[in-house]
Structure 1
Amino acid sequence: MAMAHRPRAVGDTPWVRRTLIGAGLLLTLLFLLAPVAVVFVQAFQAGLAAYFSNLASPDTLHAIWLTVLTAVVVVPVNVVFGIAAAWAVTRFAFRGKRLLVTIIELPFSISPIVAGVIYLFLYGAQGLLGPWLQEHGIRIMFSIPAIILVSLFVTSPFVARELIAFMQTQSSEDEEAARSLGASAWQMFWRVTLPNIRWALLYGAILCTARSIGEFGAVSVVSGNIRGQTNTLPLQVELLYNDYNAAGAFAAASVLALIGLVTIVIKALVEQFGPEAHDRRA
């Protein structure tokens, strides 16, 4: 019996494939790999001693600490918010569901700079809530709380969006079976729902972490760019570069680039061992 041949697509010739693959590789090298390589080359140009000396600068260490602190606070809050939002959208029918989904995705359509200005108008000294906050001795703008609040805003859709899309493709049969067997809502969540959504939850948390660490625009508005106090790592890179300290700027930038590369690796591992990969192997 003759083997069936896959019909050839229009333009599917060896030279077309090679041209497209070559163009894709060339663009990847020029626009993605080359800039990352330049960051590391410039960071280590003066040697390892100078590199670690630049990273050990008190202002840079404080920027790294503040960036990590922001992610440590922001990611768990967004995980809880994402689970609650996805549960409400995918498991209940109610008026205004589409409006709720639109509101959840609103930070995607708002420029980070605009988000920072909104918080400035809300909590600044001349803002809507500013006078009341001053009367009660509460300071939000140009401080760590402002950085955390605005980071929460710009990263809030990541976990929720991943979970909503994933849970909409799943049926609620397992949860209904657990309830029929007498499981409480808490038991059903921990033993049925959470194991089923763990990969999508992890994927959303990874994206949320990367965005929180790399956020620049919104944080630059609300932080005040106070040296050694409210500068996160992206802001510290800009500060060092403006101070004509290129070695220090590239050293700090290399930390951000390394975090980005680690994020890509973890994301690839999640995609490889997640449910989609399991379905392909099955």
Structure 2
Amino acid sequence: MKKIALWGATWVLLVVVLLLPPIVVVTEALKSGLLASLATLKDPDGIAAIWLTLETTVVAVCFNTLCGILAAWLLTKYRFPGRAALLVMVELPLSISPVVSGLVWLLLFGAQGWWGPALERAGIHVAFAVPGIMLATLFVTLPYVVRTLVPYMEHQGRDTEEAAALAGAGFWQILLRVTLPDARVALFSGVLLTTARAMGEFGAVSVVSGHIPGLTETMPLHIESLYNGYQTVAAFTMAALLACMAMAAVFLRSAPAAWARYREVQE
């Protein structure tokens, strides 16, 4: 009886917390019909928001994947003074509110910030411009590749890498041909988590972007602008598109494990 009650409570929780919100979003988006919903996506500001979100996501994923791989290698293959502090710093974006991190970038690069006036005199705009959005997104998505790679690399040990080094392989050969092929599932998971977070980031980006329609509005910011402007169908349509993009990344994350189980069953 307890098992059935626990099973039922779990499913109720999953439906209410995980399934109901996207269902409501899609229902509201289609309230006026599919054609009306799709027509809202032709808005120039909406198209600009989609492209800015994709560009920001690509930059964040590429940069943080490379930095995450190198940081995970450093943290797992070497022991050095300050290693524990570096691990804490990597986790910092997960514990700090995104709004606070956005305020920090504004303090540094805003018109009244530490470096903002000098940069603006040089014609470089960071706050209330695309570079500020990029910096804010890079910060909040920094930990994911590192967090997924570190446990796996620690489990790997160093035997195969030391053998490759004795055979004359260089750093990049060892990394690309020995370490990463074994850690590809963990790396793939970290990349997809970074992708999903970059697409959906709101707090930090909201602070540094200035909410300029068509210029510095990402999809989450554009959704807020549409909803505040009582454009409900357009807001929920954009929200449904963003949710589908993020959920696709999350579902892809489970694909390698599902494929491995399928291979085991077939064998």
TM-score (ref. length: structure 2):
0.95
Q: Deviations over 1:96-134 (max 9, x none)?
A: 000111111111111000000000000111111112212
In the superposition, relative to structure 1, how do residues 218 and 281 fare at CA in structure 2: closer, same or farther (>3 Å)? farther
Counterpart CA distance in 2 for 1:51 and 1:105 is 40
Mapped contact 1:42–1:247 kept (Cα < 8 A): yes
In the superposition, relative to structure 1, how do residues 132 and 279 fare at CA in structure 2: closer, same or farther (>3 Å)? farther
Q: Deviations over 1:163-201 (max 9, x none)?
A: 112111111111111111111222212211121111111
Counterpart CA distance in 2 for 1:137 and 1:182 is 48
Q: Which structure 1 residue ranges, 5 or more long, are not aligned?
A: 1-14
1:237 equivalent in alignment to 2:223: yes
Aligned pairs (5 A) from 1:122-133: 122-133=108-119
Per the TM alignment, residue 271 of structure 1 is displaced from its structure 2 partner at its CA by 3.0
Aligned pairs (5 A) from 1:21-60: 21-60=7-46
The code of the aligned residue for 1:113 comes to V
- Aligned identity (percent) is 44
Mapped contact 1:123–1:140 kept (Cα < 8 A): yes
Counterpart CA distance in 1 for 2:238 and 2:48 is 12
Counterpart CA distance in 2 for 1:279 and 1:208 is 29
Larger Rg: 1
| Equivalent position to 1:154, from 128, 140, 143 | 140
1:249 equivalent in alignment to 2:235: yes
Counterpart CA distance in 2 for 1:93 and 1:31 is 42
Match of 1:66 in 2: 52
Per the TM alignment, residue 259 of structure 1 is displaced from its structure 2 partner at its CA by 1.4
Counterpart CA distance in 2 for 1:81 and 1:201 is 12
Mapped contact 2:196–2:250 kept (Cα < 8 A): no
| Equivalent position to 2:86, from 89, 97, 100 | 100
Match of 2:175 in 1: 189
Mapped contact 1:70–1:148 kept (Cα < 8 A): yes
Per the TM alignment, residue 79 of structure 1 is displaced from its structure 2 partner at its CA by 0.4
Match of 1:12 in 2: none
Mapped contact 1:105–1:157 kept (Cα < 8 A): yes
| Equivalent position to 1:85, from 49, 60, 71 | 71
Counterpart CA distance in 2 for 1:280 and 1:96 is 46
Counterpart CA distance in 2 for 1:128 and 1:270 is 46
Match of 2:154 in 1: 168
C-alpha RMSD of the superposition: 1.8
Counterpart CA distance in 2 for 1:168 and 1:195 is 15
The code of the aligned residue for 1:115 comes to S
Counterpart CA distance in 2 for 1:260 and 1:131 is 37
Q: Runs (4+) of structure 1 moved beyond 6 Å?
A: 276-282
Q: Deviations over 1:243-280 (max 9, x none)?
A: 00000000000011111221232122133246x99899
Q: Which structure 2 residue ranges, 5 or more long, are not aligned?
A: none
1:209 equivalent in alignment to 2:195: yes
Aligned length: 267
Per the TM alignment, residue 46 of structure 1 is displaced from its structure 2 partner at its CA by 1.1
Three-state SS of the structure 2 residue aligned to 1:169 is helix
Counterpart CA distance in 2 for 1:63 and 1:266 is 24
Per the TM alignment, residue 90 of structure 1 is displaced from its structure 2 partner at its CA by 0.6
Counterpart CA distance in 1 for 2:173 and 2:67 is 19
Mapped contact 2:29–2:233 kept (Cα < 8 A): yes
